[in-house]
Each structure stands twice: as structure tokens, then as C-alpha cells.
Amino acid sequence: MYQARNAVFSQNDSIGQSRLSEILGAFSYALDLTEGQPAGHSIRSCWIGTQIAMALGLKGDTLRDVYYAVLLKDLGCSSNAARVTEMLAGDDRKLKYDFKLIGPRPEDLSEFLASAVGMDADAEVRARALSNLSENGEAILTDIIATRCSRGADIARRLRFSEDVAQAIAHLDEHWEGGGLPLGVAGSDIHLGGRIALLAQVADVFYSALGKEAALAEVRNRAGSWLDPQLCALFEKLSEASGFWEELALEDLPEQLWALEPAAHYVVVDEDYLDDISFAFGQVIDAKSPDTAGHSARVGMIADRIAEILGMEADHRRVLRRAAVLHDIGKLGVSSTILEKPGKLDAEEWEIMRGHAALTTNILGQIGIMGDMAMVAGSHHERLDGKGYPFGLDERSISMESRIITVADIYDALIADRPYRPDMSSEKAMVILQSEVGSAVDQQCFAALQTVVEQGLTE
């Protein structure tokens, strides 16, 4: 049975004092990974967008809605990753990064597709992808962007944000002259938060890649076409102020951004809200691959039921369930070319795949009130015999919480379809797990899982 001496979680008495901005800002680094952007892109964009919003005179809830719309503009980015890889025959993260650097003219897009599609694929795959884009390019691009925008808006609602935040995220890729996607709305019909978010995104993408002069030039180049010209003029004026670009490069920019959170210095983040945040980002994780739909939530559920059978107290199980739901957040930094590969990974690909566990630890480790979860969630590929990854832990140092997540994760992965093999029966999965007891799988956790399966509680 589970005993308190195995506990690694501590009750955070100041949970209600936590900044929502700090929690979601830390999660935004995972969104940057998915988009192939340099770390801190979402935070820098939010800082730029908030400066513009304040200069417009926005205050209170209206300012707060813009703040969170820009910070979380990429909430839906994982939902089209597999589609980008499939349709453009390449690494989704690199393609997305390069796509954001193309110019605003239609011919810029054509040149990008001709040079980037299938560049690392064999000739037949590249030719097939280019032919498909030639015939169906507009529909494909619309579908890719619509998926991202609608999913992002839905997750914003799950995070308890207003409809204004959701609509701003839904309008991120609309253009001032009406040529954007997926809705083709124009001018002031585009949500103000969406207009600010796109300008901030363009500014930071070009600033991070090519410097401040390139950022200014690109904003000017897109004024009146992609971007609201009034907002562009305001941005240019702000950027001329002493210290604007220097502040954007400061190491403590995140702390300065948290201090700018409008409407309330602290937003109450209680246990229920932390659950909502965890499950919302579980949806972001699972959207990365069509074959993992619902995986994070199921692992959380199975882990919770194993822990209950082992005698873990309810408040402790609640934290464990969050860690289980977020155990694969590091996979947002892995290309879909690897995640969706139907065959065996080569040595380099396998090393990248293994890296997702350490990324999970790093991402969760940045979130103060979730800090206890970082090692627990990131250790789900450790083994009792010391042959796991990423830290090479063994039975002396792997917590009971990690052992629970490990067995729940393996079981759900075995009974689900994967690109490299079909699903298998619960019975066969349990036979495989039993063969790993003592080397990879903890005996107590396996026995508890058997009870869960026999009671039909994994559905």
C-alpha cells in the first residue's frame, strides 16, 4: 500500500496567491516549442502587444483580455502540426518557423512552398506534395489555419477566459485588407485583440531572427495590408522611445510582464482552476498527434485510480493526476516527422524523442506551484533497473508517483493505435506489463492496475 514516506508533493498554502500570468507564461514556453520559435516568443509578443494596448488607452478587463489573447495566441498551434507535416512533407516546427518569415505578397508564399516543401523527403514524396498543393493549396492552407484558430479559441474558453479572448485568438491570422484566413474578415471587423496579436507576432518574429530594424521594416511593409495601419503607426512611435528594444531583450522581461497583468495584481488560482489549466494543456499536448487523442486525460484517470487503490489521499491524488495529464508536455518540442513516423526511429530521431521527458521536467519546473510535479512527470520513462531516461534513475530514487504514471502511460500506449503498430487487447497489454515487473514496472503499481482493469475502470 501507498505510504506517506513516499510522498514528493507538498501542499502549497499560498495557492490562491499565485499569479495566473506567471503560471500561463511558463506554459507559453511549450507553445513556443511547438511553433519552432525561440524561447520567450509568446512573452515578448505579449509585452509588445500590452505596450500597444496601453498606448491605445485600454484599461481594466479590456486590457487584460488583450494581454492574455497575445500571451496565449498559439494555444491551438499543436492541432495542425501533424497536418503541416503531412501536407508539406517536412518538419512542422521548421516549416512553421520559416513560414512566419515569408513576405506579405502572394508570390512570397508561392516561393516559400516551392523551396520548402519536401526538401528533406525523397523526390516522389516531394513531387506528390507539390502537386497536391498546386491543385488544393488554398483549401489545405485554410484548413490548417482554421484548425489552429478554432482549437485555440476553444482552449481559451476551457481556461475560463472571456469570449473576447477566444475571438481574438480565432482572428489571429485575419488580415486588415481581408486576405487572411480562415474567415477573410477585414478592417475593424477583425477583433482588436487579434489585430494587436498579429502585429506583435510579426514584430517579435523578425526582431528575434533579424534584429530591430528588420522588425520595423516588416511592420511598415505590412501596414494597411496584413496589419491595422493605425496600430502600426502607434508601434513605430513606441519603438522610437528610449529603452523599448533594450527592455525587450532583458532577462527579467517575464517578471516585468507579470507585473503588467491588468485588472488585478493576483488572480485567484484555486485547486479547481489548476485542474482546468492542466487539462487544457493536456488537450494541447494530445492535439500534437492524431494517434494520441485523449491519451493525457486517460493516463491521468488511470493513475488516479491506481493511486486510490494504493491508499493515496484525495488531495495528493489530485496533484498526481495533474502530473500524469502533463507528463508528455515535452513532446510539443518534438517534430511530427518523428512522432508520426510509421517505421523505426533512427539513432538521431530516437535521441530527440527521448529528450521530451527532460523538456517536460524543464517546462513544469518553471511553474512555482507546479514545481513538485516536474520530476514526477518527467521521470515517467525511468526504470527500476536504472536503464531508463532521461536521468538514469533506479528503484532507489524513482518516486511512487512516477511509478504510478509509468504503468498508466505504458498501459494506455499499448492499447492505443500508434503509427508504428496497431492497438492491442487489454489482456495482451497486461501480459507485456507483467513481463516488465521488477525491471521497468513496480509490482504494487502493476497489481493495482490489474484491479483497475478487472473492475473496468480504464474506460
- Set of cell numbers at residue 291: 494517434
Return the bridge partners of 245, or none.
Answer: none
Which residues lie closer than 8 Å to 135 by C-beta, 6 or more apart?
none
What is the number of other CB atoms lying within 10 angstroms of the CB of residue 232? 24
CA distances from 203 to 45, 62, 354, 441 (A): 8, 22, 34, 49
> By CB neighbour count within 10 A (0-12 exposed, 13-18 middle, 19+ buried), where does 305 fall?
buried
* Residue reference for cell 508528455: 328
Question: Among residues 59, 100, 331, 344, which one is catalytic?
Answer: 331
* Cα separation of the two ends of the chain: 24
Return the bridge partners of 223, or none.
Answer: 227
Distance of alpha carbon 148 from alpha carbon 153, whole angstroms: 9
Distance of alpha carbon 408 from alpha carbon 53, whole angstroms: 45
Which residues lie closer than 8 Å to 196 by C-beta, 6 or more apart?
49, 52, 53, 66, 69, 70, 168, 231
User: Is 288 designated active site?
Assistant: no
Q: At what angle do helices 20-35 and 92-99 cross, to 10 degrees?
A: 100
Is the bond preceding residue 182 a cis peptide, omega within 30 degrees? yes
Distance of alpha carbon 57 from alpha carbon 91, whole angstroms: 41
Query: Which of the residues are catalytic?
Result: 331
